[in-house]
Structure 1
Amino acid sequence: MNTFKKIITFDSQIRPICFALIAGPLRNNKHWFHSRNQTKLQNIKLERFQNSKQEHSTGSYSHVPIIQRFIPGVLVLAASAYIAKNYGYYKEKLQEFFPFVVVATKLGKNLAGQREKYNFIAEVADLAAPAVVYIEIRDTKRIDYYTGQPTPISNGSGFIIDQSGLILTNAHVVIDNNLKNNMSILVKLVDGRTFEGVVENADTQSDLATVRVKGSHLPVLKLGGSTSLKPGEWVVALGSPLALSNTVTCGIISAHRKSEELGLFKKKIVYLQTDASINQGNSGGPLLNLDGEAVGINSMKILPGISFAIPIDHAKAFLSTSSGQKYAQNVRRTRYIGITMMTVTEPMIAELRKRQCSLSVKVREGVLVWKVITESPGERGGLHPGDIITHVNGVEVKSSVQIYEALAEKGKPLDLVVYRGQKELKILVKPDE
C-alpha cells in the first residue's frame, strides 16, 4: 500500500512536467504537419502556382501570432527550472524506486587515496610509538608460582627523552613506599626489548619522575611546548592501559585548568584538560600534538571525556632542576594506605551525579578515590575506586590535604565515612608505618 502511494505521489509530480515538454513542441509543429498535407501543385502554370502559393501562405506557420510562438519555449524553460529546483527530491524518489542503481553507483565510487590523505592520527602514533615504554612495578619478595618471576604490583607508561636511556614518567607510577627495598622496575619497549629500571629523580609534589635504563641509541621522543596549545587543538595519547602496550587514543585540548580548580592546592600546575581517553596504565605516557611532539604527560582520569595531563613545560623545569640529583627512595618515610585520590568540588559532584544517577544527594564535597593499589592497606580496609570520602576521624573532608594530615598522626588508624553510590559506609583503614 505504501509503495502504491509513493507511485501516485511521484506520478502527480512528474506528469505536469512531461505534459509541458511534449505538448509544447507538438503545438509548435502543428502547422508544419498541416502544410505538408496540402494538395500538391498539378501543373506549372503561373496562375495555378500563384493560387497554390496563396493557399499555402494562408495555412503557413508565419500567420501564427507571435505570442503563441513563444508559449512552447516558456513552458520548456519553466519545466526545466522546476526540475532543477526539485532535483534532490526526484533523485531521492528515484533512489527509493531503483535502489540497485544507488548501490551500483556507490560501489563504483573511487575512494583511493583517502587513507593516506586523512590518516594524521596514525602518522603521529607511528612516529612516537618506538619511544613509548611500558613500566611494571614488581615485588621481589613475592614470586609468582607459575612464572617464577617477581609478582607485578602495578603498571604504567613512560617515554624516552634521551638516547642513553632516560625515561620521563609520573612519580606515582614508579614510587611505592610500601615496597621500600623490595621493589624492582621492568621497562619494556615496543620492539620487545626489556630493561631493568632505576628511579633517578622524583618529585611527588608535581608527580614527575625519571627512570634510567642501561641502553644506547634508543629511540627518543621530541619535547614540544604546552603554553601555545589552544582549546580545540587535536592531541594523541599513547600508553599501556591494562598492560596493553602502545594503545592509541585521540581527542582535543578541552581547557587549561589551574590546580586550585581541581582541589590540588599544593600543586602550582596549570593542567591540560583533554577528552582523549586516559585509563589506568596510561599514566606517565605522552600526550602528543600533530607534529609528533610530547606536549604533556598523561596523569589522571576523572570521568569519561575528562582527563588531565601535566604540561610539558612544567616537566622541562623539573628536568632542569633535577639534573645531577639522585633520588633516595627510603629517605622520606610516611604512613602508607595505597590509594590515589583527588579533591572533588560541588561542580564536579554535580557532574558525577549527572553521569551516575545512583550517587547520594548527601554528597556535596569530599575526596574521590581514583585508584587502589592491590593488597594495600586501603584495599584491605575495603576502599574501592570511585568511592567518595566525606569524613576522616569525625571531621568533614573538603580537601585531600586533610587525608595527608591524618596520615601524619603516627599510630592512629583512619576512621572514614565513604559513599559508594547511595550507600554510606564506615571503613577503618590501618596505614602501614
Structure 2
Amino acid sequence: MYGYSPTCPSYSPYDYSRDYEPGPELCLRFPDKKETGSLDARFDQSPVLKKILDYYVDQKPSRDSLWFSKDDQYAKTTVDKKKLWRIYSKITPSVVSVSSFFGVERKIDCSGLIIDWNSIENEATVLTSAKLLWSPKDTSLEFHLIVRTADGTLFLAREDYVDYHYNLLTLKIKSTIELKVVDLRCRQAEYVERMSVIALGRAFQTCLPFDYVGELSLASPNYGCDELLMSTCKFSEICEGGPLITDTGYVIGINFKDAHSLPAAVILSCLEMWRSFGTVVRPWFGMSVVDVDQLSYWIWERYNIPVEGSYVVVKEVLKGSIADKNDVHPGDLVSTCNGVSIRSAKQYSQLLSEASQVLTACADSSQQSFTLVINPFDRHTDNISIEAEQVSVDDKRFNYRWRGISCGEWNKINELLRNPGHLRYDPSAPRYTPT
C-alpha cells in the first residue's frame, strides 16, 4: 500500500510487466445479482435477516463501551476538544457504518454518509464505497447490505447508484423517522497543500465514531483516478466510504484506501447525472495514463524516455480491452484526444469527464465519438487511432484500477460471524470473535 510521506516519492509505479487479471477467489456481484429484497418488508423477509437483527439488537453497545474503547483513534490536533466536538456534532449523526453480509457472516465493513432524505418515501440515501460489492464466486448464501446508525439501529439497504470508475456506491434505506443529512452542496473549502483534514468513520460493532487527523497533499494519487486527493490521515479500512472534512467542518470528499479521497465536487457531478438520466456513461479505452515526470528513474531507463518535454504516457493496458486489441503498449505517448493535444494526466481525465457528461446527456450517444491518438514509443509503426467504447460506469471493467480487496483481507482470522449463538461480545474489538 502506498501512503503519502514527505520523504518518499509521490508516485509508486505499477509493474508494467504484468497484465491485470481479476483474482481467482473474488468477483464483483453488481449488476449480475442485484438486491431483490423489499425495503418495506425489512428484516422479516428471511430467517437469515431475522437472525442478524436479533443478534445485533441484543448486542447493542452499552454506555460503558461508549466511554472506553482501546480502538478509539483520537489523533493529535491543534483544535481543542470542545471545538472539535462542535464540528463533529454537525456531521457524525449522518456518519453510518455499512457492512456486507453473506448469510449471517459479516464480510466487509465500510463507513458511509447520509446525503439525502425523501420525506414522501421516508427514504434516505447513503453514500459509501463500491468496495462493499465484492463477493465470493458462486456463493449460494443470501447477500445483504446493512446500514447501522450511531444509536445501533439497523437498516436493510438496496443498491442505487454504482460507479466502479470512481468506486462510488449509493444505497437506499427506509426509516420511520427522518434521518439527519449532510448536504454536499454546501460551501466547499479550497484544496490547499497541508491544510488540516479529518477522516471520519463509524464501527459497525460498537457504533463508535472514529477520527483520524492529518494534512492534505496535492501529490499525484497512486491509482489511475487523477481526481483523487491524498492526505497523511492513516485511517483504517473502517473509515473507507466515510467523509473527509476540514477542521472547520466542511465535507470535502469521501475516504478511500491508502489515505486517498474523492473530492465532493466530483461526487456531486456524478450524482447529478445519475438523478437526471438514470445512468452515467464514460468513454472506455481500457488503459490508464501518467505524467512522464511522475515516473521513477528505472521506468525512464527501461523505456528510454527522454527527459525534456511535458507529456503523458500509457501506464498500463487492460488485457482484452480496445487499447490492447489495437496494440497499445505501456510507455506509448498519448498524443491527442479528439484533436486536443494532451499535456497532463489531469487534462486527459478532465476531457474524459466532459465527454462523459455529453454521452450521458445525449439522446443518441452513437452520434458522439471520443478518439485517442497514440504515438508508439519503441516500435516503428504509424500512430494508433482508437475510438472509445461507451460504457456504463457500473460495468465491472472500470474497477481494475482499484484492485478490489485482497484474498488475505477477505479471509482474516476471526472475521466470520458463522453462528451468532456462540459468540461473545467484546466492545473493544473491531468485529465479533468466536468463543
Question: What is the TM-score of this pair, normalised by structure 2?
Answer: 0.43
Rg: which structure is higher?
1
Question: What is the TM-score of this pair, normalised by structure 1?
Answer: 0.43
| Higher RCO (CA 8 Å, separation ≥ 6 residues) | 2
